[in-house]
């Protein structure tokens, strides 16, 4: 398959693994921020193929997983407002809130619909002019520009019954929070490819500059990831720290200016609550006052009773990289993709789902 085979060539993979083995003489601990990397690393057997000196930790890079229980409860409360249609990406529907999921709310009568893009939600609002349509805006810098564009689209088309519950989060502040916590001693970071396509490699300069931690931004094919890891172990072996780019076919130093402009036109930076990490200053996006007419949080104030995490779920620890999914006592025994206890097992990008699907028997011992 053209354009994929090139990035899965076993001969080149072996050469990169050899390069990693040669340089990683001493133990290194690397974190992949992105859930897409976690899945690819397990799916292609990269974790098992790496030398024992290279430890890979999963990070908080699953937008569904890091959505706080309180925000999910708020979304469910909005779905219960009479007349409201709550539109969401499919992954969010099954994530348990404090008392129920959006799917369970739908089963008892709330009008919850799955859409494939925020523009579909704008269309839904056009087709139902007498009903408020609220889109659940969850994601990182990759999805925020599209959601911002949907608000601009609604304004242009005079779709007044379209609203967004803005829960977007920014990745660099979360990486900073993990390093500041001192819970995990990281030697390097495998940078998220899609996020960095939007924000640019320059946005990661603080990691080497302020923390002395190297980063290599990587794509999602096996050779992309191995190349990123090779760049990291080479930097570490040489005692260097800089931003490397193993995904230059997609990522520029300055990112995607057009996407950032749309995002910044509609959203402004705000504090945000992350599951497992708590409130991180300046780590989220809220809708600017200019677009308040489309801001579900302002237009539909709802009372969400105090929220709680699913009992026994260790997703917070998994998202901070302090616990590997198979070490959660509920993993595979109680918590499965069919009966997920926490979001990390629900989401397609969740670390627990990845370990469940691709982890080896050794992981589950
Ligand atoms: S295995 Fe289930 S309960 Fe445990 S951390 Fe993962 S999602 Fe949460």
| CA of 335, closest atom in ligand 1 | 2
Q: In the chain, what is the greatest distance between 2 CA atoms, to the nearest angstrom? A: 65
| CA of 344, closest atom in ligand 1 | 7
The arithmetic mean of pLDDT across residues 158-162, rounded, is 98
**pLDDT class of 10 with cuts at 50, 70, 90:** confident
Percent of the chain whose pLDDT exceeds 70: 96
| CA of 312, closest atom in ligand 1 | 3
Going by C-alpha positions, the residue among 107, 109, 111, 106 that lies closest to residue 121 is 111
The arithmetic mean of pLDDT across residues 152-166, rounded, is 97
Mind listing the pLDDT tens digit for each residue in 230-249?
A: 999 999 999 999 999 999 99
Ligand 1 center–CA 335 separation, angstroms: 6
Tokens representing residue 76 in the block: 């469910």
CB 188 within 8 A of CB 215: yes
Residue nearest to atom 3 of ligand 1 (CA): 313
The arithmetic mean of pLDDT across residues 275-279, rounded, is 94
pLDDT > 60? residue 365: no
Distance between CA 298 and CA 258 in Å, rounded?
A: 28
Residues in the chain: 365
For residue 222, CA distances in Å to 16, 156, 290 come to 10, 42, 44
> Which among 97, 342, 359 is the best mutation to test ligand 1's pocket, defined by most ligand atoms within 8 Å of the CB?
342
CB 134 within 8 A of CB 300: yes
The arithmetic mean of pLDDT across residues 215-231, rounded, is 97
> Which among 344, 348, 350, 357 is the best mutation to test ligand 1's pocket, defined by most ligand atoms within 8 Å of the CB?
344
The arithmetic mean of pLDDT across residues 316-330, rounded, is 95
Ligand 1 center–CA 230 separation, angstroms: 31
For residue 348, CA distances in Å to 35, 50, 121, 236 come to 8, 24, 21, 32
Tokens representing residue 301 in the block: 């104030």
Task: State the pLDDT at residue 1.
Answer: 46
Residue nearest to atom 1 of ligand 1 (CA): 331
Place of tokens 């976690």: 38
pLDDT > 70? residue 39: yes
pLDDT > 70? residue 4: no
Decide: pTM greater than 0.85: yes
Ligand 1 center–CA 332 separation, angstroms: 9
> Which among 340, 346, 354, 364 is the best mutation to test ligand 1's pocket, defined by most ligand atoms within 8 Å of the CB?
340
Tokens representing residue 271 in the block: 């504090």
**pLDDT class of 215 with cuts at 50, 70, 90:** very high
The arithmetic mean of pLDDT across residues 122-143, rounded, is 97
Residue nearest to atom 6 of ligand 1 (CA): 352
**pLDDT class of 361 with cuts at 50, 70, 90:** very low
């Amino acid at each position: 398959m053209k354009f994929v085979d090139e990035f899965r060539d076993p001969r080149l993979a072996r050469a990169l693994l050899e390069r990693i083995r040669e340089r990683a003489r001493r133990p290194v601990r690397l974190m992949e921020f992105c859930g897409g990397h976690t899945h690819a690393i397990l799916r292609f057997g990269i974790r098992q193929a790496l030398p024992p000196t290279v430890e890979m930790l999963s990070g908080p890079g699953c937008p569904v997983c890091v959505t706080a229980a309180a925000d999910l409860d708020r979304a469910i409360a909005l779905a219960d407002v009479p007349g409201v249609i709550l539109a969401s990406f499919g992954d969010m529907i099954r994530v348990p809130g404090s008392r129920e999921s959006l799917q369970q709310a739908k089963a008892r009568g709330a009008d919850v619909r799955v859409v494939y893009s925020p523009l579909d939600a704008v269309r839904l609002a056009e087709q139902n002019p007498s009903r408020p349509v609220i889109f659940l805006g969850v994601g990182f810098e990759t999805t925020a520009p599209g959601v911002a564009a949907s608000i601009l689209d609604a304004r242009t088309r005079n779709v007044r019954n379209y609203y967004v519950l803005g829960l977007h989060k920014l990745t660099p502040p979360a990486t900073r929070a993990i390093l500041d916590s001192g819970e995990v001693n990281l030697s390097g970071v495998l940078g998220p490819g899609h996020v960095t396509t939007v924000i640019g490699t320059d946005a990661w300069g603080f990691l080497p500059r302020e923390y002395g931690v190297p980063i290599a931004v990587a794509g999602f094919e096996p050779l992309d990831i191995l190349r990123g890891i090779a760049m990291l172990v080479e930097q570490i072996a040489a005692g260097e720290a800089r931003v490397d780019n193993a995904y230059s076919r997609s990522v520029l130093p300055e990112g995607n200016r057009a996407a950032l402009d749309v995002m910044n036109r509609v959203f402004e930076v705000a504090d945000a609550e992350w599951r497992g990490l708590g409130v991180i200053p300046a780590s989220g996006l809220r809708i600017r006052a200019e677009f308040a007419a489309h801001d579900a949080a302002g237009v539909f104030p709802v009372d969400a009773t105090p929220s709680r995490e699913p009992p026994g779920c260790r997703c917070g620890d998994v998202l901070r990289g302090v616990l590997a999914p198979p070490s959660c006592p509920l993993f595979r025994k109680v918590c499965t993709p069919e009966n997920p206890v926490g979001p990390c097992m629900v989401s397609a990008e969740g670390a627990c789902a990845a370990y469940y699907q691709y982890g080896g028997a050794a992981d589950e011992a």
